[in-house]
């Protein structure tokens, strides 16, 4: 391994439709980090994944210089520390802490309720949709008229929210619900266009038809278990 070249020995183990994996891919593209992508079958875990992420067995896992690191938000922070150019998190400590707060909000509140609306029906689905809309109201206010949550450029919070831009519309279609109504959420609707039109994002989105088919199947599997 060549010393001093941070781009040597960078691998990302992922799954094509995972919103968590896309966050990391986009972060690496924004920073211009070269990496080898290794597709994993999450339904039939490979010995490699069991070896590099024995604790949760989930993707993404970044492998840098032979060192594995799971968890999308932690990987994004690691990218910022090792490849400090084009920072994803603000430099100011308070703003950085604020960004971490919103990233956690995206992960724990928005994503969970939005995904539950895909995997449920009846009252549970109604509540999930209501919760997701409530969380978007909070985000709409937080974003205001800014281009991105990161200001003029895509940052950590935008990457963590990225699923809203490209996956939520498909989830809404699969579940026959409306969560991000562009008339009700003009700031988020503008952000969504800015995000998906960004060169680092645009070229790295799975096809809508394939995403639709995948989540339609996921929905059926979940509904059969209820
Ligand atoms: N909190 C994790 C979530 C990762 C996650 O849930 N990954 C899914 C793919 S979308 C996975 O690997 N699932 C396989 C499993 O649960 O065994 C992160 O942000 O990286």
- List pLDDT tens digits, range 183-213: 999 999 999 999 999 999 998 899 999 999 9
- Identify the pLDDT of residue 208: 95
According to the model, what pLDDT value does residue 3 have? Answer: 42
Q: How confident is the model at residue 78 (pLDDT cuts 50, 70, 90)?
A: very high
Indicate the fold that domain 93-225 takes in CATH. Answer: Glutathione S-transferase Yfyf (Class Pi); Chain A, domain 2 (1.20.1050)
How many angstroms is it from 9 CA to the middle of ligand 1?
23
Residue range 14-33, pLDDT digits in tens:
999 999 999 999 999 999 99
Instruction: Classify residue 119 by its DSSP letter.
Output: S
Residue 2's pLDDT is 40
User: Please, what is the end-to-end C-alpha distance for the chain in angstroms?
Assistant: 51
CA distances from 129 to 18, 106, 123, 141, 177 (A): 21, 15, 10, 19, 8
Residue 185, number of CB atoms within 10 A of its CB: 20
- Position 49 pLDDT exceeds 90: yes
**Residue 190 CB partners (closer than 8 Å, separation 6+):** none
What count of other Cβ atoms lies within 10 Å of the Cβ of residue 147? 15
- Break the chain into its structural domains and give their ranges: 10-82, 93-225
Ligand 1 mutation pick, 59, 211, 214, max ligand atoms within 8 A of CB: 59
Determine the CATH number of domain 10-82. 3.40.30.10
What is the distance between the alpha carbons of residues 63 and 143, in angstroms, rounded to a whole number? Answer: 33
Beta carbons within 10 angstroms of residue 54's beta carbon = 10
Question: Of all protein residues, whose CA lies closest to atom 6 belonging to ligand 1?
Answer: 58
Residue 59 Cα: closest atom of ligand 1: 12
């Amino acid at each position: 391994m060549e010393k001093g070249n941070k781009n040597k020995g960078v691998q990302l183990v992922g799954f094509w439709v995972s919103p968590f994996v896309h966050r990391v891919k986009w972060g690496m593209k924004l920073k211009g980090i070269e990496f080898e992508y290794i597709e994993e079958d999450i339904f039939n875990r490979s010995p490699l994944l069991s070896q590099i992420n024995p604790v949760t067995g989930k993707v993404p896992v970044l492998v840098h210089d032979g060192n594995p690191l799971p968890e999308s938000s932690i990987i994004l922070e690691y990218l910022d520390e090792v490849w400090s150019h084009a920072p994803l998190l603000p430099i100011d400590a308070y703003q950085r802490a604020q960004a971490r707060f919103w990233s956690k909000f995206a992960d724990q509140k928005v994503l969970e309720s939005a995904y539950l609306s895909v995997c449920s029906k009846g009252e549970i689905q109604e509540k999930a949709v209501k919760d997701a809309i409530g969380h978007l109201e909070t985000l709409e206010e937080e974003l205001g008229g800014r281009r991105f949550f990161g200001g003029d450029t895509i940052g950590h919070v935008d990457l963590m929210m990225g699923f809203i831009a490209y996956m939520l519309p498909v989830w809404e279609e699969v579940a026959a619900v409306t969560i991000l109504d562009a008339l009700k959420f003009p700031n988020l609707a503008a952000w969504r266009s800015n995000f998906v039109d960004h060169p680092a994002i645009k070229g790295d989105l799975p096809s809508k038809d394939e995403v639709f088919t995948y989540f339609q199947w996921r929905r059926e599997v979940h509904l059969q278990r209820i």
